Amino acid sequence: MQAEILTIGDELCRGEIVDTNSSWLAGRLWELGVVVQWMTSCRDDAEDMRRAFRDAAGRAELVLVSGGLGPTEDDVTVDIVAELVSAQPVVDPPSLERMQRRFERVGYTMTPNNMRQVRVPAGAEVFANSAGLAPSFGVTIGKARVFCMPGVPREMQAIFNESVASRVLAMAAGGERIAKSVYRVFGKGESHIDHALTGIVAGVPGATVHFQVVFPETLVKLVVRDADGAAADARLARLDAELRERLGELAYGSGDESMSGVVGRHLREHGATLAVAESCTGGMLGSLLTDIPGSSDYFKGGFIVYANEVKERELGVRAETLRAHGAVSRETVEEMAAGARARLDTTYGAAISGIAGPGGGTPEKPVGTVHIAVAGPHGTKHKHILWPGTREQIRRLACYWAMAVLLKELKTHG
Amino acid sequence: MQAEILTIGDELCRGEIVDTNSSWLAGRLWELGVVVQWMTSCRDDAEDMRRAFRDAAGRAELVLVSGGLGPTEDDVTVDIVAELVSAQPVVDPPSLERMQRRFERVGYTMTPNNMRQVRVPAGAEVFANSAGLAPSFGVTIGKARVFCMPGVPREMQAIFNESVASRVLAMAAGGERIAKSVYRVFGKGESHIDHALTGIVAGVPGATVHFQVVFPETLVKLVVRDADGAAADARLARLDAELRERLGELAYGSGDESMSGVVGRHLREHGATLAVAESCTGGMLGSLLTDIPGSSDYFKGGFIVYANEVKERELGVRAETLRAHGAVSRETVEEMAAGARARLDTTYGAAISGIAGPGGGTPEKPVGTVHIAVAGPHGTKHKHILWPGTREQIRRLACYWAMAVLLKELKTHG
């Protein structure tokens, strides 16, 4: 089955916002076994929209649309689709009732424009919007099934997951089931991972493997399709075991759990606490760790020690160490980690010192040089990295390595 | 003039990467006065690409293409375009020479596939790639001028700016000149800013105003077009003055300079230094401030004080204050700011304490409650915010408010 994704909005064609909806929908369709052949964006222009719908319905069996369902006069998706299926735009009573209740709760007075937002083409299959006001709907144009969703990403994703995905799957697979695993891999580049997984799905019916780079990690997705859900699950379980064996500890986690989430979970399970000491990352490691709700259970705090005098005074790094080895050195970062751990009386201390650039590099210590240390009850671990990226990439990579070194320590002494 | 943007790549249609090239090009074209009517993405498939090129050339006068210029067999843009203009793909000697020199420098042996990457359709207008290997080129298909660029964003942006933009401008404006200002606005939402600027370009020939939300700030762009460059500049200067008057200090900066860049510049100009104390943001404020190369000139460091005991021990927040008012209070955050300033002996101390959620809210202090304080030589400034967003948004907004309060203090006592 071939699909087309159509996103509608002046703001897209003026470059005011990046179209993340197309990419999100394309990824979900790929997982459901549907090939996306075209992705098209056009303005809120009736003539262009007519052409876009006709072209899409002429070449694809499935068309997913987002945008143009808002309350303003610019939002004409309902009108155009109604015209193309020779129906009238009509108010959807359940959506109107939901909107009225919602407005009453916040004391908002409905304007005539709000009524636009709860219309659908008469006769369409209607899907409630659990995350917003405008309902979604499905219609048939020519040989194509067309699903229209709002442009707000949160609303579109909710409606796709709740109502559209099952219908797409029924169309795509004729009852085929999908078994899927997502692995999060850190520590080697995509080409290394690709090589390590060469041939992993060869000879496994209905299985595919898929990579997505989200710097500095790589997501690896395994998908198995089969009419028999249990058979798909069984084949996926064998692939899961094979992937874990091939990637080893490079596959640090799975699903939606981020590196800071995995590290946090292990700290909590061990009843351990953590303090950080950051130089070139300036607080980014602490910020990543506290992205996780409930991180106060294990994260006590830390020190941003940008200036050398602060490294000495707050963390007890010795002036002699800084003089002999410099701020970016194994010796300094180990004293930083030990100092943070001692000062905040935590199980572990993690420290980062490096040259994030673009200035400040030397022949001995070029831009991209970073030293990392993790101090804990089983001694201090050190890691040296040299990665010639942008300032932002070097800082982010340093934070991930600090978490990876800590995670290995937690797993080793679990 | 109507334009179409065409991006090519299997990875786009599988949702592996978000298409930021289309948005970037659309924004640049908008500024050059060109309306983007369609944005299309297709796979690395010869038949689909033929159709995409033909459709685009049939409906647009300008077609900007990115992708499909790499060294692998999948990359067939040169072949398809050569076929459409009835030419042969030929090696571009200057590009070949550049590639050979580059490979020699790093001791890399050229493979036959590398030769693919320096081909162009015979007779095309060729543009050197200052940021990579594959040259770009311009051809005419039907009535459309078509420019093909690489898919790597850095390379595409360099080629567009260096070679394509001037040609587009010549086509679009027939010699029209563009005068442009970009303002960065923080402190109020888009609807407030929109209202404050109502009618600002009314009656000003060739002038437009344009908004882009990059949470938590809004970019406002003023553009004036005129055949006479001096006239465009003069009208823009009047609009600049009017905008500054209407927005006042909400327009904290202009151009590419971020909030942390503006704050850093003011600190440097004043010879002032800064320390931070962060609770709910966990280091994000320090991370934003040290995004700026050279920030060690004014940023000495700070304290991530997630646990209350750390607030007391490291910053000298009194146990009595925490007991009486709680960690998220004006009193606590003011002591945090004063403590950071005293401990690191800086001109200013900036502190944040809040409830970022999703848990931890109470009726008196709901999720989204944040207190901010800036301590300095002219006393301590306090700001209370309540903004019911996601954890990520609340933390980011808190950092921006801390910088905005500090910036106001720096401007007031400059």
Q: Which amino acid is it at B61?
A: E
Query: Which pLDDT value is given to residue A175?
Result: 62
Contact B284 A289 (CB under 8 A): no
Could you tell me which residues come within 8 angstroms of residue B183 by beta carbon, excluding any fewer than 6 positions away? B219, B220, B221, B222, B243, B247, B251, B253, B254
Q: What value does the mean pLDDT take over residues A253-271?
A: 96
Q: Which residues of B touch A305 (CB under 8 A)?
A: 301
By Cβ distance, the residue of B295, B310, B357 closest to A344 is: B310
Average pLDDT, chain B: 93
Distance between CA atoms of residues B246 and B197, nearest Å: 7
Residue of B14, B267, B273 for testing the chain A interface, max A β-carbons within 10 Å: B14
CB pairs under 8 A between A and B: 229
Instruction: Look at chain B and count its residues.
Output: 414
Contact B343, A314 (CB under 8 A): yes
By Cβ distance, the residue of B27, B210, B306 closest to A300 is: B306
- Count Cβ neighbours within 10 Å for each residue of B50-89 and write b for 16 or more, e otherwise: ebbbebbbebbbbbbbbbbbbbeeebbbbbbbbbbbeeeb
Domain end marker among B173, B195, B222: B173
Give the lowest-confidence range in A112-116, A252-256, A319-323, B306-310.
Answer: A112-116
Residues A153 and A196 in one domain: no
Q: What Cα–Cα distance (Å) separates residue A281 from each residue in A83, A264, A296, B280? A: 56, 19, 21, 18
Give residue-wise pLDDT tens across range A132-152: 889 999 999 999 999 999 998
Distance between CA atoms of residues A217 and A231, nearest Å: 31
Distance between CA atoms of residues B409 and B374, nearest Å: 8
Residues A284 and A190 in one domain: no
Q: What value does the mean pLDDT take over residues B21-38?
A: 91
Give residue-wise pLDDT tens across range B180-223: 899 999 998 777 888 899 899 999 999 988 777 788 998 898 98
Q: Which residues of A touch B343 (CB under 8 A)?
A: 314
Give how many domains chain A has, as a whole number: 3
Query: Which pLDDT value is given to residue A320?
Result: 97
User: Which residues are registered as beta bridge partners of B2?
Assistant: B35
Query: Which pLDDT value is given to residue A42?
Result: 97
Does residue B57 have a pLDDT over 90? yes
Residues B274 and B211 in one domain: no
Q: What value does the mean pLDDT take over residues B301-322?
A: 96
Could you tell me which residues come within 8 angstroms of residue A379 by beta carbon, excluding any fewer than 6 positions away? none
Q: Answer with the residue of higher pLDDT: B389 or A412.
A: A412
**Domain range enclosing B105:** 2-173
Contact B342, B331 (CB under 8 A): no
Contact B27 A13 (CB under 8 A): no
Give residue-wise pLDDT tens across range A225-243: 888 989 999 999 999 999 9
Q: Which residues of B touch A29 (CB under 8 A)?
A: 15
Query: Which pLDDT value is given to residue B16?
Result: 82
Q: Which residues of B touch A307 (CB under 8 A)?
A: 296, 300-301, 344
At B31, is the pLDDT very low, low, confident or very high (cuts 50, 70, 90)? confident
Residues A76 and A212 in one domain: no
What pairing do the DSSP bridges indicate for beta strands A348-354 and A274-278? parallel
Average pLDDT, chain A: 93
Q: Which residues of B touch A343 (CB under 8 A)?
A: 314
Residues B162 and B27 in one domain: yes
Query: Which pLDDT value is given to residue B175?
Result: 63
By Cβ distance, the residue of B303, B306, B357 closest to A299 is: B306
Phi-psi sector, B63: left (phi>0), alpha (psi -120 to 50), beta: beta
Query: Which pLDDT value is given to residue A286?
Result: 98
Which residue from A140, A157, A153, A158 is spatially nearest to A62, judged by alpha carbons? Answer: A140
Collapsed DSSP state (helix, strand, coil) of residue A354: strand
At B22, is the pLDDT very low, low, confident or very high (cuts 50, 70, 90)? very high
The CATH number assigned to the domain holding A233 equals 3.30.70.2860
Residues A307 and A186 in one domain: no
Residues A184 and A245 in one domain: yes
Does residue B225 have a pLDDT over 90? no
Count of C-beta atoms within a 10 Å radius of residue B181? 17
Contact B48, A40 (CB under 8 A): no
Residues A169 and A35 in one domain: yes
Q: What value does the mean pLDDT take over residues B47-57?
A: 96
Query: Which pLDDT value is given to residue A132?
Result: 84
Element (H, E) at B381: strand B379-386
Contact A40 B39 (CB under 8 A): yes
The CATH number assigned to the domain holding B316 equals 3.90.950.20
To the nearest whole Å, the CA of B279 is away from the closest chain A CA by 8
A260 is written with which tokens?
Answer: 């800071």
To the nearest whole Å, the CA of A392 is away from the closest chain B CA by 7
Element (H, E) at B315: helix B308-315
Phi, psi of B315 (to 5 degrees): -115, -5
Distance between CA atoms of residues A255 and A268, nearest Å: 19
Q: Which residues of A touch B12 (CB under 8 A)?
A: 23, 26, 39
pLDDT over 70, % of chain B: 99
Give residue-wise pLDDT tens across range B76-122: 999 999 999 999 999 999 999 999 988 887 677 777 778 889 999 99
Distance between CA atoms of residues B271 and B269, nearest Å: 6
Q: Please determine, for the modelled complex, whether the ipTM score is greater than 0.85.
A: no
Contact A67, A8 (CB under 8 A): yes
B39 is written with which tokens?
Answer: 């944005």
Task: Tell the burial category of B93 from Cβ atoms under 10 Å away from its Cβ (0-12, 13-18, 19+).
Answer: exposed
Contact A304 B291 (CB under 8 A): no
> Taking each helix axis from N to C terminus, what angle separates A308-315 and B330-344, rounded to the nearest 10 degrees?
110
Q: Which residues of B touch A14 (CB under 8 A)?
A: 26-27, 30, 36, 210
Distance between CA atoms of residues A206 and A178, nearest Å: 9
What pairing do the DSSP bridges indicate for beta strands B348-354 and B369-376? antiparallel
To the nearest whole Å, the CA of A100 is away from the closest chain B CA by 22
Residues A160 and A250 in one domain: no
Residues B404 and B314 in one domain: yes
pLDDT over 90, % of chain B: 76
Contact A60, A2 (CB under 8 A): yes
Contact B293 A18 (CB under 8 A): no
Does residue A218 have a pLDDT over 70? yes
Domain end marker among A139, A173, A207: A173
With CA atoms as reference, the chain A residue closest to B3 would be A13
Element (H, E) at B333: helix B330-344
At B33, is the pLDDT very low, low, confident or very high (cuts 50, 70, 90)? confident
Q: What is the pTM of this model?
A: 0.83
Q: Which residues of B touch A302 (CB under 8 A)?
A: 283, 303-304
Collapsed DSSP state (helix, strand, coil) of residue A299: strand
Contact A193, A218 (CB under 8 A): yes
Residues A10 and A117 in one domain: yes
Give residue-wise pLDDT tens across range A165-175: 999 988 886 66
Domain end marker among A210, A230, A254: A254
Query: Which pLDDT value is given to residue B414?
Result: 67
Distance between CA atoms of residues B223 and B31, nearest Å: 7
Contact B282 A305 (CB under 8 A): no
Residues B108 and B181 in one domain: no
By Cβ distance, the residue of A283, A300, A307 closest to B296 is: A307
At B278, is the pLDDT very low, low, confident or very high (cuts 50, 70, 90)? very high
Query: Which pLDDT value is given to residue A308?
Result: 94
Could you tell me which residues come within 8 angstroms of residue A106 by beta carbon, excluding any fewer than 6 positions away? none
- Count Cβ neighbours within 10 Å for each residue of A12-37 and write b for 16 or more, e otherwise: bbbbbbbbbbbbbbbbbbbbbbbbbb
